[in-house]
Structures are given as structure tokens and as C-alpha cells.
Amino acid sequence: MKGFLLASLLAFTCRAADPAEAGSATPAMNNQRLGELIERVVGEVEGRPGYWQFELEGYSASVITDEAADRMRIIVPVMETEEFEARDLYRMLQANFDSTLDARYSIARGVLRSAFIHPLSSLTEHQFIDGLAQSINLAATYGTTYSSDALVFNVVPYVALLMVGRERPSNQLMALTLASSG
């Protein structure tokens, strides 16, 4: 229910997600536009332009940008690295190849994290929302499916997030999609 409410809020607050679909040229993404998008999607945000922190669906997330280097990353901590075994590392590397879509498992400063990295200037609202959903789902599925696709683990309704600014798919299509993923 919590995920459905989040998806409803996103559908209400976000406008067209992809400039190509909206039919108009959208200016390049920058810290100002990204900050406004994060506030629309998440609500309460801490930080400053180029470094935002927030909670979403019970997970801490950070968005870090470097306008000069044209990079953006979404990072969601999963656990301390000393808490997992070698077989877990093997499984995460395998998942990075076959089940993580665009987000990836990564390790930095002794913490296992899920991360979505993208050039900042070409980032669309749709890509940001998709990357955020994937990052949270990847953290949530650690130890089970190791997947960034919420159709396997419904933490953030992935299909609903992708539908921001679009018509909702039919119930039949949703049921077919869910059946094929399980």
C-alpha cells in the first residue's frame, strides 16, 4: 500500500518524464532542475545543490552531482562490507551482469551500496525516477533476488514510476507482466 501511495504521489506531482515524448525541447539537466525534481518526487530533502539526502520507502538515499564533470549518481547504502561473505560478493557480481538493469552493486568506504550513475546534462526526469526506483529495489532485494526490477520485489512499483505522465497500462497487461516475472 505504501508503494502504491508513493506511485500515486509521483504520478500527480511529476509532469512528462521524457522530453522526446513531451514533444518539446527541455533544457539540459543541472543542479537547479535536479533539486526541484527531487523535491517534487521525494518531498523532504536535506543537503545542498550537488548533494542531496533523503529517505524513501524506508531507505536512505543520496544524490551526488558534479556539473563540471557532467556526472550524477544515486547511492543507497545496503550494509557494512564486513557483514557479507565471499559467496555474497560473487552473487552481486553475477547480478550486476544479469539482473540489475541500470543500477549496480558497489563498494565504497566499507559500505555495500546500490548505485545508479548517469551523465547529468542528458539525464531526463524519467531516467532519474527509473534510476531511483532501481537503486532502492536493488538495496531491498539484496540477499534474495538481487534485482533492480520491482516486478520481482515490489518495494517501489517500477511500472507505476515509469508511467509518470503517461496513460496507465491495462489491468490485463499489468497481470501479464507480473505473471511473466514470477
Q: Which pTM does this prediction carry?
A: 0.72
Provide the domain limits for residue 70. 2-181
The CATH number covering residue 39 comes to: 3.30.1460.10
Q: How many domains does the chain have?
A: 1
Does position 5 have pLDDT exceeding 60, yes or no?
no
Task: Please name every residue paired with 115 in a beta bridge, in sequence order, or none if there are none.
Answer: 75, 104
| Widest pairwise Cα distance in the chain | 49
Dihedral through CA 65, CA 91, CA 147, CA 40, nearest 10? Answer: -20
Highest mean pLDDT among 63-77, 135-149, 168-182: 63-77
| Residues with Cβ within 8 Å of residue 141, at least 6 apart in sequence | 147, 148, 152, 153, 155
The pLDDT value recorded for residue 26 is 82
Q: How far apart are CA 100 and CA 126, in angstroms?
A: 18
Q: How far apart are CA 85 and CA 129, in angstroms?
A: 31
| Range scoring the smallest mean pLDDT among 18-32, 34-48, 92-106, 136-150 | 18-32
DSSP characters for 47-66?
Answer: EETTEEEEEETTEEEEEEEE
pLDDT in tens, 58-87: 999 999 999 999 999 999 999 999 988 888
